[in-house]
A and B are shown apart, each in its own frame.
Chain A
Amino acid sequence: MAHEKIQKQLSEYLEYDLRQLIDKRVSAFKRQLEYIKTKNNSYLLKLYSNNWNDEMLKVVFVLNSFYQLVLGPLDSSARSSTLCGLGSDIPISYGSSIKFNASRSRKINKTVESFNNIIVKLEINSFVMGLNSANDIVFNLAKDLYEDE
């Protein structure tokens, strides 16, 4: 299955606990999808009639989970909007091994940009990456289709 392969790839270098968290989140989304399917959900039917299928939705669940649990938190620290230069000109040392500085922020920004490019190329609304239920994801993907009509 494509979504399982993608999940494995994205999780490959992560800590076991984090891999488990991603797995739990994706599994919950999949269970919710199965439930929605029993309800003749009009938004889901709209997606199916526009060439979406379950496997594609599951890929979106994997990308969403990776973003929410890994990239989102990392991206948080890489914004350097403060005038005082904390985290960029003035590095932050967090414990003995973690350092937040300009070089780290640059690398993270580049990584997040690459990920966002994937989302754009897949024609998924980036808002979907922040949602927390399969129901909301289905609704927002379908909403885009209605708006395109």
Chain B
Amino acid sequence: MKTSSNWLPEVEKMVTEFVDAHSLVYSKKQRELSASFEIGCFHALLDYYEQMQFDISVENLTKDGEFRYLTSPSGNPNNFSYVIASIGDRAYEIRQQLKIYSELDEYISFAPDLSVVKKNSPIEKVKDDDYAKGKRSFYRVSSKDVIAAHECKSLPPFPELMVSFIGMFVTAHSWHTDHTCGVTLNDTGLHLAPTMFVGGSAQAMHLKMISAIQKVHPLNIVVGMHQGNWDLYGPHKKLNRLDVSGDKEALALAEPIDDFLSFP
């Protein structure tokens, strides 16, 4: 270790050079920083589905070929881009800021940052006298159609944040209590269970809490994303996964015929 008499002047010099060279790049508004984190989580989720052998396609691009990201639950999802993840004849939509209402009571609703829903899930157009004085509609899907709702938090993890995700999980997923939905917790399932992505890293006690939450609830809390913890795939991750009834059969049918004909 160097002594402070040369360490401090050295860091001052390097930071000055860094600011001169890069301040234009990093001087972003807070909204853009949180958007960046959300986009990073979106990439990580798509990466996961690609690793799980889903075919990924982007839908509803603008005429300029850009992906128009829905940034607020007040927008009409039909006017924005989304992703289709398909495997054989099964397909799911990965959307942003989709308002989800609970089947327990339609007034319990919220818009998670990312949602995986069954393809062609009905997007209901609703007017309510207490929303924009009844002049504008809002759009929503039922928790019955949701496979997994994911949330992105560019923050350090803390207990209240982690526990609040359990409430989001209960609200957004009918399969939690309705076993006719065909969605079950399964280590070999193809879908990532509802996940909260957290930017900061956790202290040891928080890691124990995360481990306990993941043991008793079919959800995940992934921390340390700012440190490059982006790989959601692989057995080392020990993340909860979901099986949707019929997915594995679709995967088997989708595998190239050569796989069945090849002999050791």
B21-49 contact mask (Cβ, 8 Å, vs A): 1 or 0: 11111111111111111011111001100
Q: Is the CB of B50 within 8 A of A5?
A: no
Given the known interface contacts A82-B46, A90-B58, A122-B7, the answer about A77 and B39 at a Cβ–Cβ threshold of 8 Å is yes
Please measure, in the bound complex, the distance between the C-alpha atom of A17 and the C-alpha atom of B30, giving whole angstroms: 8
Q: Mark B222-263, 1 if CB is under 8 A from A, else 0.
A: 001111001000000000000000000000000000000000
**Chain B nearest Cβ from A94, distance in angstroms:** 5
Q: A51-B2, A79-B230, A86-B58 are in contact. Are A9 and B19 (CB under 8 A)?
A: yes
Quick check: B50 and A84 within 8 Å, CB to CB? Answer: yes
- How many chain-A residues does the 8 Å CB contact rule pick out? 66
Please indicate the chain B residues that have their CB under 8 angstroms from the CB of A94 in the complex.
35, 39, 69, 71
Residues in A neighbouring B27, C-beta threshold 8 A: 13-14
CA A129 to CA B201, docked complex, whole Å: 10
Interface residue SS majority, chain B: helix
Residues on the A chain within 8 Å of B165, using CB: none
Q: Is the beta-carbon distance between A93 and B69 smaller than 8 angstroms?
A: yes
* Chain B residues engaging chain A, CB cutoff 8 angstroms: 1-4, 7-8, 10-12, 14-16, 18-19, 21-37, 39-43, 46-47, 50, 56-58, 61-62, 65-69, 71, 83, 154, 156, 199-203, 224-227, 230
Q: Chain A interface (Cβ within 8 Å of chain B)?
A: 2, 5-6, 9-10, 12-15, 17-18, 50-53, 55-56, 59, 67-84, 86-87, 90-95, 98-100, 107-108, 110-111, 114-115, 118, 121-123, 126-127, 129-133, 136, 145
